[in-house]
A and B are shown apart, each in its own frame.
Chain A
C-alpha cells in the first residue's frame, strides 16, 4: 500500500501505476488470508473459552497503580454459567454469578460473550477494531498468543489479550488508552483446568454477593434515547431501575452504560470520576421542569463519555 501511495505522490506514469497496483494487491492478499484465518481461529477460540471452559485460577488485577490478587472460578452446570470471584487482598469481597446469559443480543447478532464466535460477529467487531497478532509469550507457566485489538477511531480503548494456546482463554488482558498507556491489567498467575467439584462453586464467605444474570440483557421500554453513539455500538439491554433507566451499548468488545435517573440535589456534580480503566461522566439536564442526572459509565475514553452524556434526549 505504501508504494502505491508513494507512486501517486510522485505523479508518475499511469502505466506504471496500472502495472504496480495488481502486484501490490496480490502480495497483500497472499499475506492476509493466512493472518486473518489465524485471527478468526483465535477469536473464535477466545469466545468459546470465556463461555464454556471450566477453570479456576489465581489472578492479579492492576489498575490505577494498585495491585490486587483474586481467585476466579468458572464452570458450566446444566447450561448455566457459574462464576465466582473472590478477592484475596484488601477487604474481603466475593461475588457469585449464575444464569443463562445467552439471551444477550446486540442488534440481531447473538453477542453474549460469544461476539467473536461467529464470522458475522467477527466482521462486526473488525469494523471497529483492527486486529494484530503479536507473537507469543508465557503466562502462568503456559504458552500464550498475543492479540491486539486496535480501535479504528477515538471512541474506544484498545485491548491486548494473551490467549492460552491450548484453550483460548485470555491469560492476560490489558486495556490500552491513548498513546499506548495501559489502564488496567488482569493476568493469571496460576490456571487449573481440572474438573471442578461443586463445592468450588459455592461462596466461601457469608457476605458474598450473589447475582442472578438470567435477565442480564432484557430490554425494557425507556423514554430516553441517544442522539449520537460512536459507529459500531448498538443497544444491548435496557433496564428499569427504581429511580430511572439504564441503557447498555456494546461494539462487541467494549461496553458502556447510560444511567438516566432522578436523583437528589446532593448529587449535583458535573465531571468525571475515574477508577482504573472505568470512567463515569456525570451531568444534569432538565426536561419538563424536572431535573435528571445522566451518568455514562464505561471503559471508554473520557471525551467519548462526555459526548454521550450530552447526546441523551427524551424520545
Chain B
C-alpha cells in the first residue's frame, strides 16, 4: 500500500468521530482568556485556509501554536484580534468574556486595545523610544506627563528594557538593536494594558541571546497577561509554554498540556512533528 500523504492522514483524522478527544477541554476551574468556536478562515471564499477550529485558551498561561509553514497557525493567531479582516473572511465565533468578537457590530479597534499583538519582525515607529510607547495612548485620551512617564517606565520594566534605555528615552527607536526593538514593541503593546498578548514568532528574527531575553520576559509577563505565541522553535515551545496546540495544513490537530504534547502526543502526526520528522 502506498504511503499516505500528510493531507490524507489529516483528512482521515478530522473525519474521525472522536476527533475531539485530541483537543483538551478546559474544566470549569480553569478561567478562560479567549476561546474560538468553529473558527474558519478563507482567503478566496472557497477553500479553508483554516478549517473549523474550536479551542479554549487558559487565562494567565502561555500557549504555543506550533506547526510547519502553511499550517495555519499564524492565520489563526491573526484572526483572534481581527487582523485578518481586510484580507480574508473569518467565520465562527471568538468568545472573549462571553462576547463574540467576530460579530460584525464589534469595533475592531476596541478589540485590539484588549488583545495586543507583536510580529515576527520588530516594527517600532520611526519615533523616539518614549513616543513609541505613548503614541497609541495619546491618540485615545488625555494623559498628564507624569502619568505617561509612569506608564513608559512600567511598560519598559515589564518588557525588561528599562535599565538599558532609561537614559536615552529621547533617542530614535530605530537605533536600538533588533532584540531591544522587539522588547520595545512588547512594551508598546503592554502600555495599552491588554488582557491578552498575541505574538507571531517574536524571536525568529533575533539572535540566541535576545531570544532568551524575550522568553524570560514572556514568562514573567504571564502573571498578568494571557499569552498566545506562534513559534517554529520546538525548544522554545517546550521551555516557556503551558499548553501547546499543533496545526497542520490548515487544521488544528492536537491541543494539550505542553509536556504531554512533547512526551506522549495522542496523534502520530504530532509526534512526527515535535520529534523533527517533518516540518
Does A pair with B? no
Q: Which residues of A contact B (CB under 8 A)?
A: none
Please list the residues of chain B having a beta carbon within 8 angstroms of any beta carbon in chain A.
none
